[in-house]
Amino acid sequence: MRRGSFSLNDLPAWCVLNNVTFLDVKVADINGRGYGLIAERDLVDEDGTDDIPALLTIPRDLILSAEGVEEYAKENKDFRQLLDIAGHRSTRGDILLFLLVQLVLSSPDYKGEQGPLTPWTQYFSLLPSHVPTPTMWTESELFHLKGTSLESAVSAKLVALTKEFDDLRAKAASLPFWDEIFSVDESITIQDWILLDALYRSRSLGLPQSGEAMVPCLDLVNHFSEANAYFDENKNGEVGLRLRKGCNVSSGSEITINYGMDKSPAEMLFSYGFVDPDSTVNSLVLPLEPLDDDPLATAKLHAFGASPKLKLAEGDDGIPHWTAPFVYLMCVNEEDGLQFKVLQETDGSRHLKMFWQDIDVTDEPDTIINHIRNHELYPIFELRVLTVLFNIFQGRLEELTSSGDEDKMPGSIRTEIWQAVSHLKSLETGILKKCLGILDEEKTRLFEDDKVLEYLNPMVPDSNDAAAEAANDEEDFS
């Protein structure tokens, strides 16, 4: 659906009308960074003790949160019907439905009754029609994520968004107003839904009182790892942008906030469409799949109760550490002491129970390591785990490095996306190589363990026995 018209020149009047106040700062189009906030004069806080007023203040009634969505539903019956039939599952989902209504009401393609408008109806048209998050990349651009931790994450997200949209359209079919927009006119498409999700992910934030929310004008402030400003929420529900203590900002310089000090490069790219080159966080998350030949694979996944993940993170010392509770479950089976039983309750319901050495561990699948650590064969289990991890890391590294000459940018990918992907690949390649080196050392240590040697020796055929067996197999020509 086509977007409405609302330019940066219209914003000052909108702010006055809706009680949004700027103090010594203004919104500007910043080269290469889109809209942002810049200082109109020197902002100085030399001793870090001055109580500097908020640079930007947004009133409570403009905050788009769960409360704001519910208030709007009281005014707009068409939105209320849509919210009742397709919402009330998550704050994100309800806000996306709200944004969908603003997209419709602000679009020149919509010719129906306007109904009650909100300040967001106008402001929505100021938001970008394209967000550089991977869900909005072209297929040829997505191809270059191959081997990265984002490859499966973006694919899964696009599948989830498509399902969400199809479910929404099916439910809206019972509402005449929305059925006409979705089915008859086909004004709203899956691309619109993907855009709304990208806008939410790249502009939502967590407020102390309001929770997940989108805040107009504050969402125009760009990210910087060493930000000079921060936001807060007062007891009246107003959101303010304030200069950090001890920060001095010269006139014409940009006001920035930090989007997330602990977010990995992959998270930043997934949610905001860029990788912070100054970030010191280096971590990645990979999906875990059960072993192909594991007869208990389905039972293990069911008992674990969540999508298994493998997280790698570098510490302050530059040494990577890994966390993957499910990998220990992958590496033990019935002969080791793992059992699954289906118990039937008196009401006829059936439940899968997991046992380790006859101890019920159904409620603690992510702490299975605490139980197997005391087993006499734990060094063997540890060796299995290291082998599984080694194969995963090695496979990922081969995928990352098999895409050919990374120094040449294909013509099918935009420059900023190529730079972000290249940076992500470089970081993830580095951490995987470090992990492989550490695993090699750990495996060497385990191969010197007496229990491991005792366990493995029977598997190595004796040379004399092998020679005798070969002799017996020879044909007798006498």
Query: How do strand 239-243 and strand 211-214 relate by DSSP bridges?
Result: unpaired
Positive or negative CA dihedral for 364, 369, 370, 375?
A: positive
Residue 377: φ, ψ to 5°: -100, 20
Residue 273 pLDDT > 80, yes or no?
Answer: yes
Q: Cα Rg for the chain, rounded, in angstroms? A: 29
In this prediction, residue 456 carries a pLDDT of 82
In this prediction, residue 271 carries a pLDDT of 96
Q: Kindly list the domain boundaries of the chain, sorted by start residue.
A: 8-257, 282-459
Strand boundaries in 165-246, DSSP class E? 204-207, 211-214, 222-223, 229-233, 239-243
Class of domain 282-459: alpha beta
HSE-CB at 390 with a 13 A cutoff on CA atoms is 15
The pLDDT of 111-140, averaged and rounded, is: 90
Torsion of CA 16, 20, 25, 31, to 10 degrees: -90
Contact 135, 197 (CB under 8 A): yes
In this prediction, residue 465 carries a pLDDT of 53
**Residue 299 — pLDDT band, cuts 50, 70, 90?**
very high
Contact 364, 107 (CB under 8 A): no
In this prediction, residue 46 carries a pLDDT of 60
Mean pLDDT of the chain: 90
**Residue 477 — pLDDT band, cuts 50, 70, 90?**
very low
Residue 14 pLDDT > 60, yes or no?
Answer: yes
Residue 462 pLDDT > 50, yes or no?
Answer: yes
In this prediction, residue 321 carries a pLDDT of 94
**Residue 460 — pLDDT band, cuts 50, 70, 90?**
low
Q: pLDDT of 117-126, one tens digit each?
A: 899 999 999 9
Residue 264 pLDDT > 70, yes or no?
Answer: yes
**Residue 223 — pLDDT band, cuts 50, 70, 90?**
very high
Strand boundaries in 262-378, DSSP class E? 283-287, 309-314, 320-323, 338-344, 350-356, 359-360
Give the chain's length. 478
Residue 373 pLDDT > 70, yes or no?
Answer: yes
When mean pLDDT is compared across 43-57, 100-114, 247-261, the lowest value belongs to 43-57
Residue 54: φ, ψ to 5°: -65, 135
Domain 8-257 bears CATH identifier 3.30.360.10: no
In this prediction, residue 51 carries a pLDDT of 60
**Helix (H, G, I), strand (E, B), or coil: what is residue 138?**
coil
Residue 478 pLDDT > 50, yes or no?
Answer: no
Residue 410 pLDDT > 90, yes or no?
Answer: no
Query: Nearest CA to 149 among 266, 311, 306?
Result: 266
- Residue 86 carries which DSSP code? H
Residue 146 pLDDT > 80, yes or no?
Answer: yes
> Across the beta sheet with 229-233, what order do the strands follow?
21-22, 56-58, 239-243, 229-233
* Residues 50-79: b if buried by 16+ CB within 10 A, e if exposed: eeeebbbbbebebbbbbbbbeebbeebebb
Please state, for a pLDDT cut of 90, what percent of the chain lies above it: 76
The pLDDT of 351-376, averaged and rounded, is: 92
